[in-house]
Each structure stands twice: as structure tokens, then as C-alpha cells.
């Protein structure tokens, strides 16, 4: 919100009242842009292909001299698909617009090289890499801060250089810093181990259940996320069955689990409403074990077969 609304109402900078984003952003981004549209700003929402990736030529055509900011999610929160942030940055910089990266789902799972990804702003959230909930950070490139003053969302005592007033939550900030330090130290080891466990989970489900589709780009995904569609199975029914076995999965973004609408991310990828409703997201982490993968895969296969059997008998 601070990056998007702050840039919209900022003092200085270039560009007009046009913004560019994608149809597969997190709701926190989409809602911010929808708010700007009610205030007279124009927003272009780029589509994606069946793998969840944008067309770089379409991006190049969308960014004009009136474009103030381009905002793109780095790693998708539902599918784990990783956008080509470096290439996107090159196009945006060539066009002279500002570039914001939502790296919330990428932090702690990908190496984020700010020298290569020439973003003007990057947002992260502490709890995504085992830090305290309620703490986040917005990186603002030094050169940007000198030529553009972001408009604050909260006014008051002028803390955080006037960008976010209010007494700082020092323990949460310190926790974020320490969590980031630990995540970086364990990054390569975690990626290799979690990736191997994810591949094992997928292989076991594939061989046992059948009728399974991976939602995402196999060669461009964070390794902790696996989004699957199960033919003939409602995702909500599967999630409930697994919950009874002590396994937590999601039928969409964890922030909107109560929403009965199909995933806007999967719909943007060309999935039908039925296919989107049949999807479940599995999230692995630093503390996931081999035994848990075996148990989860067995439970998924059993639940899928049971649900399909009930549908077959008309129950």
C-alpha cells in the first residue's frame, strides 16, 4: 500500500496517472490499485499465460510516457510461479517508469539481488521467513528517495523518515532483521532440501491418485509451493478431509480462505471455474520432514479416491 498509494500521491517524480500491474497479484496489491481507480487513476492489468507468466512484449507496449509505476509480484503466493523480475526491470527502466516488486513470497526462498533487479521499491513481510507477524519492510532505492517523496499512509510523529508515523515496534523490527539473517544463511540448504521434499510429494500423489495437474511453471517456481488440481474433486472437500487427518492445506491465498469464489490467479491462467475450484495448495517449509511428506501423500491419495468414489455412487 505504501509503495503503490505512496507513489500515486507522491510529490515529484515522472509519469502521469497510469499504473501497470498483473492479474495474478496478491489481493493487497489488487485492492490498492482498485482504490486508485476510484480516485481517477488508470490501471492496466496484464494477463498471463497458462504457466502464470506475463508476456514481456505486452508489458513493453503497456508502459507509456504517462506510466508512473509498474508493480509485479516476484513469486506468486498461490502457485509459487516466479516472474522474470530482472527482465521486467530492464523494460520498466528503459521506459522511465518506477518499478515496485512484491517480494513477500520470495524473501527467504529466493536470492534477491537488488543490484541485478533494479527495482525502485521492494516489499517483504517478516512472517514469510519465520520472523514476527505484523512486521514488514519496504526497500526504497536511495536515488528514488532524493527525487520523489512518497506520500505517507499514516500521519503523526514523522517516524520512519515521515513515511510511517507511530512509535516503532522495536522487538518486531529486530526479529525481522534476525530472521532475514538466518534465512540468508540457510537459503541454499533449505531450497535444496525443500525442493527435494516437494518433488517427492508430487511424485507420490501423481502415482497414487491420477488425474492431477500442476498449476504453475515447472521450471520457474519457488520450491516450497505446490498447487495441484484434482480431477473430480472439490478443493474444499479435500481440504476438509485432510484437516481431519491433521494436515493443513489451502484452497487459495491463506489470507482469503473464507472466500468461496475460485482463485483469480488460476482463472487468469486460463483454468475453468471447475478446475480452479478443484485446486489445493501445499506449502512446505524449513521444518517439514520426510515422514510428514510420506504421511501427507498417503492421506491425499486416500482422500481423493474416497471423494471420487462418493461422487461415483451419487452420495
Taking residues 145-165, report their average pLDDT.
80
Taking residues 44-55, report their average pLDDT.
98
CATH code given to domain 2-184: 3.40.640.10
Taking residues 206-213, report their average pLDDT.
95
Q: What is the mean pLDDT of the chain?
A: 92
Task: Kindly report the pTM of this predicted structure.
Answer: 0.91
Question: If pLDDT is split at 50, 70 and 90, which confidence band does 30 have?
Answer: very high
Question: If pLDDT is split at 50, 70 and 90, which confidence band does 158 have?
Answer: confident
pLDDT given at position 156 = 85
Per-residue pLDDT tens over the stretch 225-254? 999 999 999 999 999 999 999 999 999 644
Distance (Å, whole) CA 47 – CA 59: 10
Per-residue pLDDT tens over the stretch 77-126? 999 999 999 999 999 999 999 999 999 999 999 989 888 898 999 999 99
Q: What is the largest CA-CA distance in the chain?
A: 68
Question: If pLDDT is split at 50, 70 and 90, which confidence band does 192 have?
Answer: very high
Distance (Å, whole) CA 152 – CA 196: 43
Q: Which of 49, 255, 274, 310 is catalytic?
A: 255
Taking residues 20-44, report their average pLDDT.
97
Look at residue 111 and give its three-state secondary structure: coil
The owner of cell 473464507 is: 258
User: How distant is the alpha carbon of residue 141 from its chain centre?
Assistant: 22
pLDDT given at position 312 = 60
Q: Specify whether 32 is catalytic.
A: no
Question: If pLDDT is split at 50, 70 and 90, which confidence band does 174 have?
Answer: very high
CATH code given to domain 187-312: 3.90.1150.10
Give all strands of the β-sheet with 67-73 in edge-to-edge order.
Answer: 42-46, 18-22, 67-73, 98-102, 121-125, 136-140
Residue 259 has pLDDT above 90, yes or no: no
Residue 269 has pLDDT above 90, yes or no: yes
Distance (Å, whole) CA 103 – CA 270: 24
Radius of gyration of the chain (CA): 21
Nearest Cα neighbor of 29 from 83, 93, 72 is 72
Which segments of the chain belong to CATH 3.90.1150.10?
187-312
Per-residue pLDDT tens over the stretch 133-147? 999 999 999 878 777
Amino acid at each position: 500500500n505504501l509503495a503503490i498509494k505512496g507513489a500515486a500521491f507522491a510529490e515529484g517524480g515522472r509519469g502521469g496517472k497510469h499504473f501497470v500491474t498483473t492479474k495474478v497479484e496478491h489481493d493487497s496489491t489488487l485492492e490498492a490499485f482498485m482504490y486508485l481507480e476510484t480516485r481517477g487513476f488508470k490501471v492496466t492489468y496484464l494477463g498471463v499465460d497458462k504457466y502464470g507468466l506475463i508476456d514481456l512484449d505486452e508489458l513493453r507496449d503497456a508502459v507509456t510516457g504517462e506510466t508512473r509505476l509498474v508493480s509485479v509480484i516476484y513469486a506468486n503466493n498461490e502457485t509459487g510461479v516466479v516472474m522474470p523480475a530482472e527482465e521486467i526491470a530492464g523494460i520498466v527502466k528503459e521506459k522511465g517508469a518506477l518499478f515496485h516488486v512484491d517480494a513477500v513470497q520470495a524473501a527467504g526462498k529466493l536470492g534477491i539481488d537488488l543490484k541485478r533487479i533494479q527495482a525502485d521499491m521492494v516489499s517483504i513481510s517478516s512472517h514469510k521467513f519465520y520472523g514476527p507477524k505484523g512486521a514488514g519492510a519496504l526497500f526504497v532505492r536511495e536515488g528514488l528517495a532524493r527525487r520523489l517523496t512518497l506520500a505517507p499512509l499514516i500521519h503523526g510523529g514523522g517516524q520512519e523518515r515521515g513515511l510511517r508515523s507511530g512509535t516503532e515496534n522495536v522487538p518486531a523490527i529486530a526479529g525481522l532483521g534476525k530472521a532475514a539473517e538466518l534465512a540468508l544463511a540457510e537459503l541454499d540448504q533449505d531450497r535444496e532440501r525443500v525442493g527435494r521434499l516437494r518433488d517427492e510429494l508430487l511424485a507420490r500423489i501423481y502415482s497414487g491418485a491420477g488425474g492431477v495437474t500442476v498449476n504453475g511453471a515447472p521450471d520457474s517456481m519457488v520450491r516450497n509451493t505446490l498447487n495441484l488440481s484434482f480431477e473430480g474433486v472439490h478443493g474444499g472437500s479435500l481440504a476438509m478431509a485432510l484437516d481431519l487427518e491433521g494436515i493443513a492445506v489451502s484452497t487459495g491465498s491463506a489470507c482469503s480462505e473464507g472466500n468461496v469464489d475460485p482463485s483469480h490467479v488460476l482463472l487468469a491462467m486460463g483454468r475453468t471455474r471447475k478446475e480452479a475450484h478443484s485446486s489445493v495448495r501445499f506449502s512446505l517449509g524449513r521444518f517439514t520432514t520426510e515422514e510428514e511428506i510420506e504421511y501427507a501423500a498417503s492421506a491425499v491419495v486416500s482422500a481423493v479416491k474416497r471423494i471420487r468414489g462418493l461422487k461415483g455412487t451419487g452420495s
